[in-house]
Amino acid sequence: MNFGVSTSMDVAAISIPSLHFSIKSSAAISLQAPRSRNACSVSLFSGFRRFGLRIISVKAEQASSRVTDDDFIIEDVPHLTDFLPHLPSYPNPLKNSQAYAIVKETFVKPEDVVAQKIVVTKDSTRGIHFRRAGPREKVYFKPDEVRACVVTCGGLCPGINTVVREIVCGLNFMYGVNDILGIEGGYRGFYSKNTLTLTPKVVNNIHKHGGTFLRTSRGGHDTNKIVDNIQDRGINQVYIIGGDGTQRGAALIYQEIAKRGLQVSVAGIPKTIDNDIAVIDKSFGFDTAVEEAQRAINAAHVEVGSVDNGVGIVKLMGRYSGFIATIATLASRDVDCCLIPESPFYLEGTGGLFEFIEQRLKENGHIVIVLAEGAGQDFIARDMHAAEEKDASGNRLLLDVGPWLSQKIKDHFTKVQKMAVNMKYIDPTYMIRAIPSNASDNVYCTLLAQSAVHGAMAGYTGFTVGPVNSRHAYIPIARVTETQNTVELTGRMWARLLASTNQPSFVTNSEELKEKAADINNVDISAQI
């Protein structure tokens, strides 16, 4: 690799894995090292200086590496030239596009990055940045030589079909790619030979329907079989839509492709209805899910408001993260209590759920409870003496907390309190995730798909795409799979919910709250309180 830096500072020292050098005042230095798949490639980012020193980023073989200028970090994504250094590039066809002719700056500048942290103080460090998504001036594929494929894995989510549609249309309309395959039935479809040809005409109306046009499955990931099939079919762009498990599989596919030295770009589009993917602002389909949840909450409110001592429970999705339940509660204004996986609760005693329900029934004559599916799992498992089981994706199979809690409430008030309650239980789980995406999510899915297409055509690989502080970026797959976002019990959003519902925190003191929140969120929360 070739690397040059100039600076006006007195002395600067930069450390890169296997490389170290110093720069003195007004000096220019050039560093050369052999280029191979295992060597790091260094790229210069102009426009960012600290004491006159330009910022650099490093791309490693399997995941992002960080190069810092004290407090400026760029986490870059792999590129095909990392292991194919002599790969030719070509002018981007968008130069001749009528659609992009009106754009002032058609192409994203090489030095453009997106900051992960946007709220700063005067003395804040600049922190982590990601490569900005968008079209590049040079591409590494000739359109007529591209054979792309699209696969959807895992559970359903509003907007999957929109992403599939816009990948196909983006490749065809923007870059002139005509050879696009749909892999049917998830990862298994690669080696079970289930494919269909995708054209703009074939996918034209699929965004109007829920589910996935390509069908899906859990599990079935066999890296060698998948890459063998990719190689045998001559596929050179792979678009993988799925959650954290799917994205981990995409990372393994990229690594095997790099190991074999294949000119194949692997692009991930993160999907989860629970909105628990790290780094990105939110996942597609989430707005649609919250909007649809309002219908169930409204129905519960009408039901319990029409009877004496009405208790309505609405169970929403949220295996480990209670974002749907939390945001749906904040949006509704008709919810009295929200129970999520991150927040422990207890039933009996002072400050418990039974006491709160009794209080609300006396005040209002009814109560509406929103319950995330992952809430109280340890509680119900102990009560039912249930053994832990897992699904094909390795996720813990959840016990059905909705009917269990409904029965517990009913038994308590009829047997202990000698008080009749009218229980109304609504479970719209699969209705919420099976509907088509709304207007907001359709626009978002379009941006995701087009960003993925631009990235793959530009030769990036082993990346996922998503909005970071409202700007789309290319993110190393490892960053979105290393942890899951959860509702912070010490954050302002949960505080807003508690203020809106006026429900108890179900925690006896602030120290216990800190301990439970730190354990659940797996973060150092001392600086957030």
Active site amino acids: 274
Question: Is position 319 annotated in a ligand binding site?
Answer: yes
Question: Is position 155 annotated in a ligand binding site?
Answer: yes
Question: Is position 305 annotated in a ligand binding site?
Answer: no
Give the CA distances from residue 456 to residues 87, 269, 411, in Å, rounded to whole numbers and listed in that order.
14, 12, 58
Question: Is position 312 annotated in a ligand binding site?
Answer: no
Question: Is position 435 annotated in a ligand binding site?
Answer: no
416: which residues sit within 8 A by CB, 6+ positions away? none
Token reading at 67:
């190069």
> Alpha helices of 261-419 — where are they, by DSSP H?
286-305, 323-332, 353-364, 377-384, 401-411
Going by C-alpha positions, the residue among 35, 26, 49, 25 that lies closest to residue 3 is 35
- Distance of alpha carbon 15 from alpha carbon 292, whole angstroms: 51
Token reading at 165:
């549609």
- Distance of alpha carbon 59 from alpha carbon 440, whole angstroms: 34
Question: Is position 245 annotated in a ligand binding site?
Answer: yes
Token reading at 4:
């040059």
Question: Is position 431 annotated in a ligand binding site?
Answer: yes
- Distance of alpha carbon 45 from alpha carbon 39, whole angstroms: 19
Question: Is position 318 annotated in a ligand binding site?
Answer: yes
Going by C-alpha positions, the residue among 454, 463, 444, 445 that lies closest to residue 171 is 454
Question: Is position 317 annotated in a ligand binding site?
Answer: yes
Question: Is position 430 annotated in a ligand binding site?
Answer: yes
Kindly provide the residue ranges of all beta strands, DSSP E only, lying in 428-522, ordered along the sequence: 463-468, 471-476
Question: Is position 243 annotated in a ligand binding site?
Answer: yes
- Distance of alpha carbon 366 from alpha carbon 361, whole angstroms: 5
Question: Is position 218 annotated in a ligand binding site?
Answer: yes
Going by C-alpha positions, the residue among 244, 224, 252, 284 that lies closest to residue 437 is 284
State which amino acid sits at residue 184: E
Question: Is position 244 annotated in a ligand binding site?
Answer: yes
- Distance of alpha carbon 271 from alpha carbon 157, whole angstroms: 7
Token reading at 54:
């330009």
Question: Is position 246 annotated in a ligand binding site?
Answer: yes
Max intra-chain CA distance, the chain = 86
Can you say which residues are annotated as belonging to the binding site for substrate? Answer: 272-274, 317-319, 373, 430-433
Going by the annotation, the residues of the binding site are 155, 218-219, 243-246, 272-274, 317-319, 373, 430-433
